[in-house]
């Protein structure tokens, strides 16, 4: 075994081998994979080997498509058979709600290049002869489904990597990992030590244990999972003989089952409701090529449905039941990327569908390690989407929930119950008493809307029980004054003599003067966006930033990686040590004036001003800015004072008709101002010009800000896309995001977010289209629940296009 390597990859499952292959293919060949046993000694060996392109997140779906396209290449390169059978498959709907969901999947496929087609239940039965069409209302055909040999694929990755110069050391167990003062990693094994610049944790079932070696508690947990293999079936033999083809895959969402042919019989797997965690706290090191005890009672309810939906199963015997463990992150997507605070330590774990996702994970991670950027939008699998709040108990609750809901519909207005009330602010009970309906963001409870007694969300793809109540909240803001809790923003504080110079380099905007704020895009080295913030200069060398709450860890990883080595800049994420309230609407200033002794007149405290002032008796930081696009203020207050500030504002607002509003009303308000948000409109694949944030980029400023060259190039060449707001002729449903945008009969773009703008009484969608058609006024359509609706570009904001309200 070599004593030094550029990269040590820990784990010889499908994921570690894919990472090794991609690093070597990308030109890093001084790389070694350490496997404690034989390759495939974790969850990989007993996988059912199914692969498919669909995923709830379109960007993960793209990487799944890439994974499937890769198998031919690694087979040729390695000479190792991968056993790929691209049979195609059917996705089955037993209810109308499921069919609506599937139509959304087909629509997404149109701009992802995934070939999906809606078919009837009878047509599905012609393709998959074992199903009873009477049990289904419709289906979708997917040509890119199939299965493979899990061991063959893993060895093909490893052999291909070796051919490219990478090394694999089997029976080499990593026992500890120690960071040296010079930043290199000592990887200590049972066979000696390797010193490496980078370490990748692809430990699969043992990813937690490998993480703990560097003090990291990763939010992953293994679940038991069962599938059965039947005896040979005459129906299968007859079909094979008649068509010369295998029986295609089927996913029966409402039965929570997946099926495929296995030799002369069938394989049927299920994500059962009565699921079971495996090795809750620690994975035993002596677990290897073993199976767990099957428990047919646990999967009996799913099998009952299976027998009804696929009657031939009732007439056949079960040859074998496989029960094996594999790992999940709380939301079921992988955990990939560099770990904040551990330079050179990377993770590629929590991969629940290694044969659909392993290639994409390897590609993204190798790009990230070598180029400094994953090369794709991988937010949905970035390890930084979780913070310390994703504790072991939280992970346990969410993983169990996610497993049991693997094939369940999640409606756009549906909030999931597991792991809730983890983080609440000090006014949680006060807002609950006013009817707050809670959602969750980065572990924190956030008010979505306020319901009268006895009313709650009715889950639907269409406008629902909240519609008129959200409309009232919007009206309160636009007509008098509303108050919202905004503690879910990320908040950061910067001080130190080097802070201004550092901020000038990290942000693309011009720095605000003391007492002022600005919108601050942050760019990556390639000039694309990595954040959008409000940057406030508090004065006396103190700076404050507010940004996307869900991206706190993501942005801290970026900030910290770019901090100067000396201590000239001090930066901290304030988390819930600072909470927030916002008031907005034409009467907002009058409310503020009643509770503050500061001069809050337009002259004394103009638009984009920021100052410390007391609200009632509570010390606060107040900025005159509002995401509602109205006259408004954001108020930042330490948690111990939040109740006092809230009560003072409520009391002062009474005479002006102040009402509470939640994040759904805020969405409706920001849509009519064409305001985007991080992780929807603003993502790391778009340039500032494309995203319409170029007006905040100080292209000519002296500071050599990160991404300047890329941003200037984008401005010169014009980028490829444009973000546009559309008004939709909708019926009873509004877009939620990821719908295709048609132009002249072809899919040319995609929706990033939208909803109903209650004040303007318009259904609004925001999305990207190629710049060549971005200024067309006619010819657009947006596909929603299987139907194309005429749409037109709304260039000027629907509300207050001249910014008179905001600046008044």
Ligand X SMILES: Cc1cc2nc3c(=O)[nH]c(=O)nc-3n(C[C@H](O)[C@H](O)[C@H](O)COP(=O)(O)OP(=O)(O)OC[C@H]3O[C@@H](n4cnc5c(N)ncnc54)[C@H](O)[C@@H]3O)c2cc1C
Shortest Cβ 695–ligand X spacing (Å):
44
Q: Which is nearer to ligand X, 296 or 801 (CB)?
A: 296
- Phi, psi values for residue 415, rounded to 5°: -105, 135
Shortest Cβ 110–ligand X spacing (Å):
24
Rg of the chain, C-alpha, whole Å: 27
Which are the contacts of 362, defined by CB distance < 8 A and separation ≥ 6? Answer: 15, 18, 19, 20, 21, 22, 157, 348
Shortest Cβ 697–ligand X spacing (Å):
40
Q: Which is nearer to ligand X, 38 or 126 (CB)?
A: 38
Q: Which is nearer to ligand X, 355 or 559 (CB)?
A: 355
Shortest Cβ 275–ligand X spacing (Å):
13
> How do 780-784 and 740-743 pair as beta strands?
antiparallel
DSSP 388-419: TTS-HHHHHHHHHHHHHTTTS---TTPPP-TT
Shortest Cβ 378–ligand X spacing (Å):
16
Round to whole Å and give the CA distance between 730 and 764: 9
**802, containing H or E segment:** none
Helix (H, G, I), strand (E, B) or coil at 23: helix
Round to whole Å and give the CA distance between 491 and 559: 13
Shortest Cβ 492–ligand X spacing (Å):
34
Round to whole Å and give the CA distance between 694 and 674: 15
Find out whether 237 and 316 touch, Cβ atoms under 8 Å. no
Shortest Cβ 13–ligand X spacing (Å):
2
Helix axes 14-25, 354-371, angle to 10 degrees: 40
- Phi, psi values for residue 198, rounded to 5°: -130, 145
**584, containing H or E segment:** strand 579-584
Q: Which residues pair with 194 in a beta bridge?
A: 187
Shortest Cβ 109–ligand X spacing (Å):
19
Q: Give the start-end residues of each E strand in 248-305.
A: 249-252, 257-262, 265-270, 277-278
Shortest Cβ 278–ligand X spacing (Å):
9
Shortest Cβ 15–ligand X spacing (Å):
3
Round to whole Å and give the CA distance between 20 and 325: 24
Q: Which is nearer to ligand X, 206 or 682 (CB)?
A: 206
Q: Which is nearer to ligand X, 14 or 484 (CB)?
A: 14
Shortest Cβ 592–ligand X spacing (Å):
53
Find out whether 739 and 109 touch, Cβ atoms under 8 Å. no
Q: Which is nearer to ligand X, 40 or 437 (CB)?
A: 40
Helix (H, G, I), strand (E, B) or coil at 558: helix
Find out whether 720 and 770 touch, Cβ atoms under 8 Å. yes
Find out whether 262 and 149 touch, Cβ atoms under 8 Å. no
Q: Which is nearer to ligand X, 38 or 304 (CB)?
A: 38
Q: Residues interacting with ligand X, by CB under 6 A?
A: 10-16, 34-37, 41-44, 46-51, 173-174, 202-206, 210, 225, 227, 322, 324-326, 349, 351-356
Helix (H, G, I), strand (E, B) or coil at 310: coil
Q: Which is nearer to ligand X, 224 or 532 (CB)?
A: 224
Round to whole Å and give the CA distance between 67 and 149: 14
Which are the contacts of 762, defined by CB distance < 8 A and separation ≥ 6? Answer: 672, 727, 728, 756, 794, 798
Shortest Cβ 146–ligand X spacing (Å):
10
Q: Which is nearer to ligand X, 268 or 665 (CB)?
A: 268
Shortest Cβ 64–ligand X spacing (Å):
9
Q: Which is nearer to ligand X, 48 or 595 (CB)?
A: 48
**501, containing H or E segment:** helix 499-506
Q: Which is nearer to ligand X, 49 or 575 (CB)?
A: 49
Q: How many Cα atoms occupy the beta-carbon half-sphere of 595 within 13 Å?
A: 26
Other beta carbons less than 10 A from residue 414's beta carbon: 14
Q: How far apart are the first and last CA of the chain?
A: 71
Shortest Cβ 745–ligand X spacing (Å):
36
- Phi, psi values for residue 290, rounded to 5°: -120, 155
Round to whole Å and give the CA distance between 680 and 737: 8
Q: How many Cα atoms occupy the beta-carbon half-sphere of 301 within 13 Å?
A: 9
Shortest Cβ 570–ligand X spacing (Å):
37
Q: Which is nearer to ligand X, 239 or 326 (CB)?
A: 326
Round to whole Å and give the CA distance between 513 and 641: 28
Q: Give the start-end residues of each E strand in 377-506.
A: 436-441, 444-450, 482-485, 490-495
Q: Which is nearer to ligand X, 349 or 494 (CB)?
A: 349
Q: Which is nearer to ligand X, 59 or 626 (CB)?
A: 59
Shortest Cβ 624–ligand X spacing (Å):
50
Q: Which is nearer to ligand X, 349 or 620 (CB)?
A: 349
Shortest Cβ 343–ligand X spacing (Å):
21
> How do 167-169 and 31-34 pair as beta strands?
parallel
Q: Which is nearer to ligand X, 353 or 698 (CB)?
A: 353
Which are the contacts of 16, defined by CB distance < 8 A and separation ≥ 6? Answer: 9, 10, 33, 35, 200, 202, 203, 204, 348
Q: Which is nearer to ligand X, 35 or 75 (CB)?
A: 35
């Amino acid at each position: 075994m070599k004593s030094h390597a550029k990269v040590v990859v820990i784990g010889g499952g499908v994921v570690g081998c894919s990472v090794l292959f991609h690093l070597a293919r990308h030109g890093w060949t001084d790389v070694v994979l350490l496997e404690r046993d034989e390759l495939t000694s974790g969850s990989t060996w007993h996988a059912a080997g199914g692969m498919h392109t669909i995923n709830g997140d379109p960007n993960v779906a793209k990487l799944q498509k890439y994974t499937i396209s890769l198998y031919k290449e690694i087979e040729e390169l390695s000479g190792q058979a991968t056993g790929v059978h691209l049979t195609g498959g059917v996705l089955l709907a037993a209810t109308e709600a499921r069919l609506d969901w599937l139509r959304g999947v087909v629509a997404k496929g149109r701009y992802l290049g995934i070939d999906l087609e809606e078919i009837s239940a009878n047509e599905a039965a012609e393709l998959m002869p074992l199903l009873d069409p009477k049990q289904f209302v419709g289906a979708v055909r997917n040509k890119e489904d199939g299965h493979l040999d899990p061991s063959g694929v893993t060895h093909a990755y490893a052999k291909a990597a070796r051919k490219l110069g990478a090394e694999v050391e089997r029976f080499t167990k990593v026992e500890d990992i120690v960071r040296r003062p010079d930043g290199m990693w000592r990887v200590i094994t049972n066979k000696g030590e390797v010193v490496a610049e980078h370490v990748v944790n692809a430990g699969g079932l043992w990813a937690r244990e490998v993480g703990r070696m560097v003090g990291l508690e990763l939010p992953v947990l293994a679940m038991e999972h069962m599938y059965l293999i039947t005896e040979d079936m005459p129906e299968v033999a007859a079909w094979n003989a008649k068509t010369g083809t295998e029986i295609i895959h089927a996913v029966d969402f409402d039965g929570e089952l997946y099926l495929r042919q296995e030799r002369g019989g069938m394989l049927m797997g299920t994500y059962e409701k009565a699921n079971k965690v495996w090795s809750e706290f620690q994975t035993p090191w002596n677990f290897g090529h073993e199976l767990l005890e099957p428990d047919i009672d646990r999967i009996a309810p799913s099998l009952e449905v299976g027998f009804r939906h696929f009657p031939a199963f009732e007439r056949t015997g079960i040859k074998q039941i496989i029960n094996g463990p594999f790992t999940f992150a709380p939301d079921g997507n992988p955990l990939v990327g560099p770990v904040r605070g551990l330079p050179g330590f990377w993770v590629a774990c929590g991969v629940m569908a290694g044969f659909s996702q392993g290639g994409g994970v390897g590609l993204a991670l190798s790009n990230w390690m070598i180029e400094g950027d994953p090369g794709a939008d991988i937010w949905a699998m970035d390890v930084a989407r979780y913070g310390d709040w994703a504790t072991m108990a939280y992970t346990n609750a969410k993983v169990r929930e996610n497993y049991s809901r693997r094939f369940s519909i999640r409606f756009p207005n549906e909030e999931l119950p597991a792991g809730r009330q983890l983080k609440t602010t000090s006014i949680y009970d006060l807002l609950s008493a006013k009817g707050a309906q809670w959602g969750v963001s980065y572990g924190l409870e956030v008010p979505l809307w306020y319901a009268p007694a006895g009313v709650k969300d009715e889950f639907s793809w269409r406008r629902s029980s909240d519609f008129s109540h959200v409309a009232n909240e919007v009206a309160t803001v636009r007509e008098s004054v509303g108050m919202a809790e905004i503690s879910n923003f990320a908040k950061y504080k910067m001080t130190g003599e080097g802070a201004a110079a550092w901020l000038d380099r990290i942000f693309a905007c011009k720095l605000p003067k003391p007492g002022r704020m600005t919108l601050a895009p942050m760019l990556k080295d390639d000039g694309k966006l990595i954040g959008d913030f409000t940057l406030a200069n508090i004065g006396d060398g103190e700076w404050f930033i507010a940004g996307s709450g869900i991206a706190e860890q993501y942005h801290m990883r970026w900030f910290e990686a770019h901090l100067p080595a000396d201590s000239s800049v001090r930066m901290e994420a304030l988390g819930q040590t600072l909470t927030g309230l916002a008031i907005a609407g034409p009467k907002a200033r009058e409310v503020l004036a009643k509770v503050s002794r500061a001069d809050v007149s337009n002259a004394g405290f103009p638009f984009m001003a920021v100052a410390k002032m007391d609200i009632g008796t509570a010390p606060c930081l107040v900025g005159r800015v509002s995401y509602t696009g109205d006259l408004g203020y954001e108020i930042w207050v330490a948690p111990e004072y939040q109740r006092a500030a809230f009560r003072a504002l409520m009391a002062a607002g009474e005479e002006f008709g102040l009402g509470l509003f939640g994040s759904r009303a805020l969405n409706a308000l920001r849509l009519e101002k064409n305001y985007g948000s991080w992780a929807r409109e603003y993502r790391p694949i778009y340039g500032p010009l494309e995203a319409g944030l170029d007006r905040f980029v100080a292209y000519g400023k002296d500071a050599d800000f990160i991404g300047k060259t890329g941003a200037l190039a984008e401005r010169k060449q014009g980028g490829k896309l444009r973000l546009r707001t559309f008004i939709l002729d909708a019926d009873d449903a509004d877009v939620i995001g990821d719908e295709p945008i048609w132009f002249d009969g072809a899919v040319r773009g995609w929706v990033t977010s939208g909803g109903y703008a209650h004040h303007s009484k318009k259904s609004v969608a925001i999305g990207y289209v190629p710049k060549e058609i971005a200024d067309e006024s006619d010819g657009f359509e947006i596909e929603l629940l299987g139907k194309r609706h005429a749409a037109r570009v709304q260039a000027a904001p629907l509300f207050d296009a001249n910014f008179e309200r905001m600046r008044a």
